């Protein structure tokens, strides 16, 4: 049977080849439509070096020559219309390359894929879902994120809850269970590990084959729309991990798509990612730029995603990143910067913010590249947030140190404030820190069982009060003791044990305090919102500082004791003569702490200290974080 010819918009094809078609998923892929009064499916695929392209599927015994596509002039695009084909049909492109070899390839623009280990694409219509999140989207447009609380719950959908190996909760089930749990805890956002279709569970989605297909592991894509919609109706934003830096080499994927390096660079030194066994995208090709930027727009358009966490930016912008000498290339100026990747990142962010100015574009970047969150017109990369990997590494190294030895490593805690406002930072405690033998956050903490919990409560208190938005990987809120097991569910039975349940309550209350106190988030990106009281008390391993709201009416004093010593009397300088109330105490007996008696209010006296005209004395329990506020403010 001959495929009927199908006309694609010449303007769309022109923009695609210019790297300017930013909703290319509306042109390419499989689309159910009516042509000359006949309903069927239109196919379009970019394969410029192919001799022949056909659509193969169960409807033609997987023989693509029965439904050949037509080459559209010299565009390198093949298209056609198959009458009578309906939603749910499985298909691949049968591509005869320039060398005469034949390959069966999944559709790069497919909206749905078969459940692994099957690899075919599936005709799917994603336009039927009736959204009920207009109030959320309106509020988001009117209330930008920079001066709002942001405490993100990072989740891997497959292992959040699992009844048995590979028995995953569906998107629809998670729309109830996960969303209700995150809402009850007080997190403001959920960040989902990558959901683009991928062949290997253990890759966690970071090695994808279907960039436009939400993985079928958890059900049809409409289920993901339901999950996002319910998040929004609960007041929770959704961030998606997105991996535009590299793709896996599986035969049905993008590698050698038309028999030649098409999506990947022809130069293997630039293409190969030996650390992950993957291939980089060719950011110099305009068509690849259209493919990737359209993919970002697709998740925002079709799934109403609120933000993208762009994975592995450091590996994209450095031609030598984690490569052996034989795979190192230089740019046209002799440097190691990947100039095309840098320009593409700027173009990506400019495009996203032009259409969705309230989007969260977060760079997971371990490099020291300057201006990651600076505007592109000032030479920056144009993201609005960057993960602060330096803070994460330094603070975890400090916390893993025995308290007896912490005084020698005091600068690991204070160094972050030298650069805290150089970018718009997120402080991540992510999945990467609790796998591959790194141990869980709780098990990183030194000491006996009770000490581990005290250290973790202290650390969470310090983290909450440090400038920057926050991200926590699932399980950290109740003290997952083993490191993350991606093939099994979280250890929810731990909540039967008092200290784990107390830690969960502690986190819920900490999130409540965080959300209620503008001093803790309004000036995250401004030095006016932070003042040291005493940054240099290494001998006693104590930090004290002030956080302030934008209008100055909310002022909080934070004191963190990282030693095992209890100080019955500890003096700090304060700016006013007001009495101070302790409004949060990580050592509270209700959280599993020592229950040391604390005064209801503490009177400041006119004794200068730490450059302040007044000071106050307070008991300071071992391994504790205290938050105080002036009594006048507390009364208000």
Measured in whole angstroms, the distance separating CA 442 from the mean position of its chain's CA atoms is 22
CA angle (223 as vertex; 494, 132 as ends), nearest 5:
105
Q: Which DSSP letter does residue 612 get?
A: B
**Is 551 labeled as catalytic in the residue annotation?**
no
Burial class (CB in 10 A: 0-12, 13-18, 19+), 234: middle
Name the 3-class secondary structure at 207: coil
Closest CA to 240 of 212, 279, 216, 281: 212
| Alpha-helical regions (H) of 115-220 | 134-142, 157-160, 171-185
Which stretch of DSSP H or E encloses residue 556?
strand 555-561
Name the 3-class secondary structure at 440: coil
Give the number of other Cβ atoms within 10 Å of residue 321's Cβ. Answer: 18
Name the 3-class secondary structure at 442: helix
Give the number of other Cβ atoms within 10 Å of residue 236's Cβ. Answer: 21
Tokens of residue 562, six digits: 């990282």
Burial class (CB in 10 A: 0-12, 13-18, 19+), 143: exposed
**Is 364 labeled as catalytic in the residue annotation?**
yes
Q: What is the DSSP string of 524-538?
A: TT-GGGEEEEES--T
Contact in structure between 542 and 534 (CB atoms under 8 Å): yes
Give the number of other Cβ atoms within 10 Å of residue 600's Cβ. Answer: 7
- C-alpha 227/C-alpha 183 separation (Å) is 13
Instruction: Give me the catalytic one of 258, 264, 311, 365.
Output: 311
Q: Which residues does 61 contact at the CB level (< 8 Å), separation at least 6? A: none
Cα 550 to Cα 337, 459, 527, distances in angstroms: 38, 25, 11
Phi, psi of 243 (to 5 degrees): -125, 80
Contact in structure between 409 and 401 (CB atoms under 8 Å): yes
- C-alpha 534/C-alpha 620 separation (Å) is 15
Instruction: Give me the catalytic one of 241, 258, 364, 534.
Output: 364
- How many residues appear in the chain? 636
Cα 14 to Cα 78, 81, 283, 296, 363, distances in angstroms: 14, 21, 18, 20, 30
Closest CA to 148 of 158, 139, 156: 139
Name the 3-class secondary structure at 44: strand
Closest CA to 43 of 88, 92, 112: 92
Give the number of other Cβ atoms within 10 Å of residue 446's Cβ. Answer: 16
Burial class (CB in 10 A: 0-12, 13-18, 19+), 172: middle
- C-alpha 399/C-alpha 203 separation (Å) is 29
Closest CA to 171 of 236, 253, 226, 129: 226
Contact in structure between 19 and 290 (CB atoms under 8 Å): yes
Give the residue numbers annotated as catalytic, written as ranges: 311, 364
């Amino acid at each position: 049977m001959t495929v009927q010819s199908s006309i694609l918009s010449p303007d769309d094809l022109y923009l695609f080849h210019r790297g300017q078609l930013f909703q290319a998923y509306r042109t390419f892929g499989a689309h159910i439509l009516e042509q000359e009064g006949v309903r069927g499916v239109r196919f379009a695929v970019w394969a410029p070096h192919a001799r022949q392209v056909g659509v193969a599927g169960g409807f033609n015994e997987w023989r693509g020559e029965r439904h050949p596509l037509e080459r559209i002039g010299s565009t390198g695009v093949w298209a056609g219309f198959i009458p009578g084909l309906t939603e749910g049909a499985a298909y691949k492109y049968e591509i005869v390359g320039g060398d005469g070899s034949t390959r069966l390839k999944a559709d790069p623009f497919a909206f749905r894929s078969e459940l692994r280990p099957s690899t075919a694409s599936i005709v799917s219509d994603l336009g039927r879902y009736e959204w009920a999140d207009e109030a959320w989207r309106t509020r988001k447009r009117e209330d930008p994120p920079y001066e709002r609380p942001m405490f993100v719950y990072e989740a891997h959908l497959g292992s959040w809850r699992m009844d048995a190996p590979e028995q995953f909760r569906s998107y629809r089930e998670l729309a109830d269970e996960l969303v209700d749990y995150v809402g009850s805890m007080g997190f403001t956002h959920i960040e989902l590990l990558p959901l683009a279709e991928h062949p290997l569970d253990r890759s966690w989605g970071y090695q994808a084959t279907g960039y436009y297909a939400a993985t079928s592991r958890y059900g049809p894509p409409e289920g993901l729309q339901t999950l996002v919609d319910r998040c929004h109706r609960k007041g929770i934003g959704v961030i998606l991990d997105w991996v535009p830096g590299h793709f896996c080499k599986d035969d049905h994927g993008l590698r050698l798509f038309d028999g030649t390096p098409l999506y990947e660079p022809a130069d293997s030194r630039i293409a190969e990612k030996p650390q992950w066994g993957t291939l980089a995208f060719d950011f110099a090709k305009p068509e690849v730029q259209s493919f990737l930027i359209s993919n970002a727009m697709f998740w925002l358009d079709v799934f109403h995603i609120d933000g993208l966490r762009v994975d592995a930016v450091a590996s994209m912008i450095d031609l030598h990143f984690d490569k052996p000498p034989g795979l190192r290339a230089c740019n046209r100026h002799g440097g190691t910067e990947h100039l095309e990747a840098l320009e593409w990142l700027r173009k990506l962010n400019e495009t996203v913010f032009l259409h969705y100015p309230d989007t969260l574009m977060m760079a997971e970047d371990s490099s020291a590249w300057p201006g990651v969150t600076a505007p592109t017109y000032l030479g920056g990369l144009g993201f609005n947030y960057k993960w602060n990997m330096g803070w994460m590494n330094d603070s975890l190294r400090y916390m893993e140190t025995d308290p007896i030895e912490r005084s020698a490593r005091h600068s690991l805690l204070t160094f972050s404030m030298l650069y805290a406002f150089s970018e718009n930072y997120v402080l991540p405690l992510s999945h990467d820190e609790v796998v591959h033998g790194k141990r869980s956050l709780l098990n990183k903490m030194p000491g006996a069982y009770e000490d581990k919990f005290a250290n973790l409560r202290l650390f969470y208190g310090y983290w909450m009060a440090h400038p920057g938005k926050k991200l926590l990987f699932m399980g950290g809120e109740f003290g997952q003791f083993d490191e993350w097991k991606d093939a099994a569910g979280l250890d929810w039975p731990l909540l039967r044990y008092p200290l784990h349940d107390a830690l969960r309550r502690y986190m819920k209350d900490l999130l409540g305090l965080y959300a209620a106190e503008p001093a803790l988030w309004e000036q995250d990106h401004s030095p006016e919102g932070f003042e040291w009281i005493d940054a240099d008390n290494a001998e006693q391993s104590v930090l004290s500082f002030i956080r302030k709201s934008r209008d100055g009416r909310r002022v909080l004093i934070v004191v963190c004791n990282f030693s095992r010593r209890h100080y019955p009397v500890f003096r700090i300088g304060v700016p006013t003569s007001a009495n101070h109330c302790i409004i949060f105490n990580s050592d509270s007996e209700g959280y599993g702490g020592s229950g040391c008696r604390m005064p209801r209010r503490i009177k400041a006296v006119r004794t200068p200290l730490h450059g302040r005209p007044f000071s106050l004395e307070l008991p300071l329990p071992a391994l504790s974080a205290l938050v105080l506020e002036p009594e006048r403010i507390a009364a208000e």
